[in-house]
Structure 1
């Protein structure tokens, strides 16, 4: 007999809890998830490593370092967060219009 976990909720909540479960030794195949509620994402800035919860727009401003970040679809299971990268690194000041994130 083994342990299984079922998570239902926002992406941010499920990502955070599943990351803690994986760190505690629970296998990924023993975790089932079902998205419910808000489409807000938990984002990690790849530059300062800060985590911002409740992100619903792309691009968004990092709450830790102030960089404008592009919302990538890359999800880190270890961190339980999506990754955000500087949107105007190559062309400072060239920031696209803000849009709502779609499911």
Structure 2
């Protein structure tokens, strides 16, 4: 999944640190879930008969759900895309019963990430900017360098406690 040993001493331990996935020789079924064809990692070509699901396909959500709930012991899931995509799919996989050891996540695309507002509890998709307005409560949020794997999101806290409901204006 993420490499816990790659963190620099000044880096928060909660921040995800991504690495290229390794083929799991012991896996009896390789399931590859990618956000788009552009998110594909070279590892896919080394896997024996992988089941590949592309997020751009019209029936992606239905097929993903079906594959995850029917995954058996010995299956290994490889998720590739931007942070918002991989952590959403990771959450779905965990809810379906897969263990962290059965999942590799690789950020292969720059793009959106998820931010959790501590004020209203909404998790929203956002870009890389460090300031944004919560779409749920309009509080101006500062995105902290704290990541919750359980939520699959960065922590967003009020950027101006003197005016908590003012939002962030460009």
Common fold, TM-score beyond 0.5?
yes
Deviations 1:3-32 (A, max 9, x none): 211000000000111011112221112110
Mapped pair 1:39 → 2:111 = yes
Give how far 1:56 is off: 2.4
The normalised TM-score by structure 2 is: 0.50
Deviates more, 1:35-44 or 1:15-24: 35-44
Give the count of matched residue pairs. Answer: 92
**Structure 2, unpaired ranges of 5+:** 1-72
Residue 80 in structure 1 maps to residue 156 in structure 2: no
TM-score by length of 1: 0.78
Q: Deviations over 1:69-100 (max 9, x none)?
A: 111222222222222111122xx14xxxx9xx
User: Where does 1:17-28 land on structure 2 (aligned, <5 Å)?
Assistant: 17-28=89-100
Of Structure 1 and Structure 2, which has the larger fraction of its residues in helix?
2
**Equivalent residue number for residue 101 of structure 1:** none
- Where relative contact order (Cα < 8 A, 6+ residues apart) is larger, the structure is 1
Supply the distance in 2 between the matched residues of 1:29 and 1:61 (Cα, whole angstroms): 35
Corresponding position: 1:66 with 2:138: yes
Alignment match, 2:39: none
Contact 2:120 2:136 survives alignment (8 Å): yes
2:78 corresponds to = 6
- 1:45/1:51 contact within 8 Å kept: yes
- Unaligned residue ranges in structure 1 (runs of 5+): 99-103
Quote the Cα distance in structure 1 between the aligned partners of 2:127 and 2:137: 15
RMSD across aligned positions (CA): 1.7
